[in-house]
């Protein structure tokens, strides 16, 4: 990986962490519903798990099935080839950038959730509550990622093809190209 890529990933990580923290902080301060706060926390944990599945699948997938699908012009096949060819970057972005940010934000949301619980349950032990919420977040994250890695290794090609199809659909809907087009040899 080039130094420019590393610096770019670091800067993007910083920016994403600031944005996600700001959104979570805004939600935590404005939302007074424990259910909505808990739901948002679960969504952030699931984003981390799904990103880990995609990153692991990219490193385990085979390129050849995507070439066969691309020859049939199936949407998502070209994107799948690109994801597999750039598995190191896909894994870095999904497992490290998105996964670590999701972990950090889920920890911050856990603290905000504890504060909300303390507002409703005045006699609660804050230290014990912090410990329990942190432990539950860690268990869900680590357990989910362990199950996800097993799934990703067994179904790598299907996961990457699904991600490729989603990306192809997003390209069609938005007009934004995620990957550079390959030039045809003349």
Q: Which of 4-8, 10-14, 110-114, 142-146 has the highest mean pLDDT?
A: 142-146
Q: Which residue has the higher pLDDT, 87 or 23?
A: 87
What is the average pLDDT value for the chain, to the nearest integer?
Answer: 88
pLDDT of residue 28: 65
pLDDT digits (tens, 9 = 90+) for 106-116: 988 888 888 88
Task: Say how far apart CA 99 and CA 24 lie, in whole Å.
Answer: 16
pLDDT of residue 59: 96
Say whether pLDDT at 130 is over 70: yes
- The answer to whether residue 150 sits within a structural domain is yes
pLDDT digits (tens, 9 = 90+) for 68-80: 999 999 999 999 9
Domain of 143 in residue numbering reads as 3-174
pLDDT digits (tens, 9 = 90+) for 135-156: 999 999 999 999 999 999 999 9
- The answer to whether residue 162 sits within a structural domain is yes
Say whether pLDDT at 127 is over 60: yes
Task: Say how far apart CA 115 and CA 87 lie, in whole Å.
Answer: 40
- The answer to whether residue 186 sits within a structural domain is no
Say whether pLDDT at 50 is over 70: yes
Angle at 157 between CA 153 and CA 159, to 5 degrees: 80
Kindly give, in sequence order, each residue whose CB lies less than 8 Å from that of residue 66, ignoring residues fewer than 6 positions away: 77, 78, 80, 81, 84, 157, 160, 161, 164
Burial (CB < 10 A; 0-12, 13-18, 19+), residue 158, is middle
Domain count across the chain: 1
- The answer to whether residue 104 sits within a structural domain is yes
Share of the chain above pLDDT 70, in %: 94
- The answer to whether residue 129 sits within a structural domain is yes
pLDDT of residue 186: 47
Average pLDDT, stretch 116-134?
A: 90
Residue 1 banded pLDDT, cuts 50, 70, 90: low
pLDDT of residue 182: 59
Say whether pLDDT at 165 is over 50: yes
- The answer to whether residue 79 sits within a structural domain is yes
- Measure Cα distances from 20 to 16, 42, 44, 153, 175 in Å: 6, 14, 10, 29, 25
pLDDT of residue 181: 65
- The answer to whether residue 183 sits within a structural domain is no
Nearest alpha carbon to residue 66 among 81, 55, 54: 81
Average pLDDT, stretch 77-100?
A: 93
- The answer to whether residue 182 sits within a structural domain is no
């Amino acid at each position: 990986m080039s130094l420019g890529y590393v610096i770019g990933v670091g800067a993007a990580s910083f920016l994403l962490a600031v944005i996600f923290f700001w959104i979570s902080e805004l939600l935590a301060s404005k939302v007074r519903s424990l259910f909505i706060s808990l739901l948002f926390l679960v969504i952030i944990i699931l984003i981390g798990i799904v990103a880990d599945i995609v990153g692991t699948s990219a490193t385990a997938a085979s390129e050849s099935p995507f070439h066969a699908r691309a020859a049939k012009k199936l949407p998502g096949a070209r994107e799948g080839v690109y994801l597999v060819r750039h598995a190191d970057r896909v894994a870095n972005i999904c497992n490290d950038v998105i996964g670590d940010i999701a972990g950090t934000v889920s920890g911050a949301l856990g603290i905000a959730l504890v504060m909300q619980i303390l507002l409703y349950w005045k006699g609660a032990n804050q230290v014990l509550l912090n410990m329990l919420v942190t432990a539950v977040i860690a268990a869900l994250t680590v357990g989910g990622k362990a199950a996800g890695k097993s799934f990703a290794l067994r179904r790598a090609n299907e996961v990457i093809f699904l991600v490729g199809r989603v990306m192809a659909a997003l390209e069609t809907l938005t007009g934004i190209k995620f990957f550079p087009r390959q030039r045809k040899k003349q």
